[in-house]
Chains A and B, each alone.
Chain A
């Protein structure tokens, strides 16, 4: 083909495709392209077989509208990825750049092979196109530089596990491939332009400004030399691209497909949703004891994890020195799946038509061999990982599944949790305090039970902490007084109330949890309860999201929602100014689980004299107190205490009061303050206590930091 001249001139700008690549370059190129694509297709075929090989069924294709929305927002617009600035921008530069470049390349190819489809690929359009390609090429390059800087210079902990970097070779290859494709692309463009502008008379080289700038530096080299260099670079560029295609399904690059797939197939259930076990009577196995007991989607999650480590960055277990890292959990499961899936596939292949395949017994059990026991039990179910994961992996239900196996099948779990469960069984509360003492607090306030007066708007579901824990009872009393003051009609279940079942469920004891839930639901339905207020976010979450599975359909409110509402309506007058600096600790089960971030803050803002100093980890990035996921009832003997770490964060912002909206958090923060010997200077208070104090209707007696002690069995002291 002739160079430039008649075909490409001013007014009909363009360039010759396959310039300096005479026959049979094109043929060789297509041959290798075909090979690369075949390898890629084979890789995906293999992967597809592996995904199909193991895992229980689970439907993830319902509600396509919602799913497409998630795909567009999180895949195309990178919403989740952008939640962190540096990695967000870094990824976006590479992603958007590559996205445009791939379309560009496809455009180029179409123009060459099917010119009737893009007859306009010249003139102004071509120039604009060239310019855009140049910009996005640069974008990718900047992204790659940022990635290299991050990976090799900054070396954030989350790109490894306890100082040991992940995926050293794979990461390097991926960066080299992408970076190489872009750099060789610019180089060969420069080589071509050097000849084009000097020999062929192209005047529009400047639109390809990067290649043009490079071409301008090439003075004094013979055109033939440059053409050789161009040819060489051209082939390197082509083979890097083929390498990229062929390597894709076997490397972290597969995320280009898996990430959007997972964003499309994300859980549309409420946060923290756990699929209830439907059949205790006839099922033979419960929970996840083997890889095979995970759903296909859960295994797919592990494959979709590309080790970005965002989960690990806010995981209270990991940060406090426990062996759990949500990332490592996924990677360990993936590693075992990579070993196990081919075995299962081979067995299925070997089976004769119509016969059940004989699948060899698994070589490893999930807990103890694939996942360490301490990893499993370190999780506080705080939901940070799931909130942070850019590909919407679902770590917590996988952990609960494995816990279920240990608890329900093997009854092999910590003695202190066994005691907790026995206590829940016998007295319907984790402490095992006599169930008849559940409503003792109410005597002081004069709150009626629904048995005494069922004609009330709200059931106040007090929960175990609010009923039995001395500290929790003070919150209950404060809140009951607030409701009375606001003239809200409410009642309690009294001795008919039972444990909500959250700690049993999250600790893997689904059987106990459902038993407890059912008892409460039967009582609540018996009274025709419609609206429920909870002071404990664990009960709130459980009743709201899990009770509907068992016939309990209620409108459920957290007390901060109710108080915020009452303040907005002017039904509560806050007139007594508070003193000192406050901080607010977001409870996981309130914040990440139920998106209640603003109500508590609005309440605090309405308190006269309020000075609020927020901790760095707040809102969706809040740091757990350490008590969720049944951790409240377990010893914490590895690493630092999570509650102490959280207390340190409050101390850092010089808070004198840690405001909370959860009795577990209240206990944990109070203990943290004691551990840090800050009792003289700091205290933890529930929002309800702060509001009741600010209402100024009582002596400030209730805000004195109280001693925690076991409830007394004998008659209370009287004041003379």
Chain B
């Protein structure tokens, strides 16, 4: 079985995000980069599928040089080879287009993506990729069975869950709950250093990047004002102070 897992490198969820003064993006200094958590579910699903059915897992990622670390992380978990597309800052459509160009030749039976990336939260790449590859897609999946050339996926919706059957090949986007991504073993980490990774740029893929969407401006969320503790020993005086503040400062009464 030919399995593809698409991964994206994103800032760690706990990283301190600082927006560049010109609002063009984030300041990358001091940021710890990790694999997008939803993509990890995708990689784990890909590995489980390989373990059950045999085959090969190719991990594909788009991004600058540092992206290689994330590809190696997936290889350490057990993926067999990688494709690193050295395109930085592409929008969702162009990301999907580059992935499609790289994946097309692999001729996959199934492609896994995270249901969205935690940095830009666009949630488009998996779907656009399926369209560009001309194959079905099942999105936001929390359960998966593959048998007889078909996938049976569980997708939770408000108050219920759908069981969706799809022909293969198809794109599956992974949601939390699909599995517990494995911790890489040390031999896995060591072997990952020697696994093949194809590095390709846009030219090699035969595509040109023409942005369909661009970030106009990025601004940090407003700083929440600090809370206040009213000091004092006399409850009546404190209550009076509270009322005063609620009326004059908070303007809620």
Contact = CB atoms under 8 A, between A and B. Distances in A.
Contacts of A454: none
A434 interface: yes
A280 B190 contact: yes
A281 B189 CA distance: 10
B12 A720 contact: no
Interface stretch (B123-131, B133-141, B226-234): B226-234
Interface stretch (A196-204, A261-269, A709-717): A709-717
Nearest to A720: B228
Contacts of A715: 223-226
A415 B185 contact: no
A20 interface: no
A421 B190 CA distance: 18
Most buried by B among A410, A411, A422: A411
A280 B14 CA distance: 29
A719 B229 contact: yes
5 contacts: A408-B185, A411-B184, A426-B14, A427-B12, A437-B16
Contacts of B220: none
Top 3 closest A-B pairs, CB basis?
A434-B14, A408-B186, A715-B226
A132 B183 CA distance: 67
Contacts of A716: 226
A434 B15 contact: yes
Given A426-B34, A427-B12, A436-B16, A717 B229 contact: yes
Given A408-B187, A714-B226, A719-B228, 9 more contacts: A280-B190, A286-B187, A407-B183, A411-B185, A427-B14, A436-B15, A715-B223, A718-B227, A718-B229
B226 A432 contact: no
B187 A284 contact: yes
Interface in B5-36: 12, 14-16, 30, 32, 34
Interface residues of A, number: 31
Interface residues of B, number: 27
Interface in B218-253: 223-231, 241
B183 A411 contact: yes
A9 B228 CA distance: 105
Nearest to B186: A408
B227 A511 contact: no
A330 B47 CA distance: 38
B180 interface: yes
B228 A717 contact: yes
Interface in A422-477: 422, 426-427, 432-437
Contacts of A568: none
Interface in A258-280: 280
A426 B185 contact: no
A638 interface: no
Contacts of A8: none
Interface of B: 12, 14-16, 30, 32, 34, 180, 182-190, 223-231, 241
A281 B188 CA distance: 11
B183 A714 contact: no
Nearest to B184: A411
Given A436-B16, A718-B228, A422 B183 contact: yes
A280 B183 contact: no
Nearest to B33: A426
B185 A714 contact: no
B229 A409 contact: no
A720 B229 contact: yes
A281 B190 contact: yes
B66 to A, nearest CB: 14
A418 interface: yes
A410 B187 CA distance: 9
Most buried by A among B16, B182, B241: B16
B224 A714 contact: yes
B20 to A, nearest CB: 17
B180 A415 contact: yes
A409 B182 CA distance: 13
A284 B191 CA distance: 11
Contacts of B224: 714-715
A44 interface: no
Interface string A484-499: 0000000000010000
Contacts of B190: 280-281
A413 interface: yes
A717 B226 contact: yes
Nearest to A715: B226
A719 B227 CA distance: 9
Contact of B32 (A418, A427, A433, A437): A427
Nearest to B232: A720
A528 B249 CA distance: 52
Contacts of B227: 717-718
A718 B226 CA distance: 7
Contacts of A434: 12, 14-16
Contacts of A720: 228-231, 241
Nearest to A404: B186
A382 to B, nearest CB: 26
B97 to A, nearest CB: 31
Interface string A374-403: 000000000000000000000000000000
A413 B185 CA distance: 11
A613 B231 CA distance: 38
Contacts of B16: 434, 436-437
A604 B214 CA distance: 64
A287 to B, nearest CB: 9
A409 B185 CA distance: 5
Given A426-B12, A434-B14, A714-B224, A418 B231 contact: no
A718 B227 CA distance: 6
A434 B230 CA distance: 30
B74 to A, nearest CB: 14
Most buried by A among B34, B186, B228, B230: B186
A433 B14 contact: yes
Contact of B186 (A286, A495, A714): A286
Contacts of B12: 426-427, 434
Interface string A280-291: 110010100000
B187 A432 contact: no
A435 B12 CA distance: 10
Interface string A70-96: 000000000000000000000000000
Contact of B185 (A410, A436, A717, A719): A410
Given A426-B34, A427-B32, A409 B230 contact: no
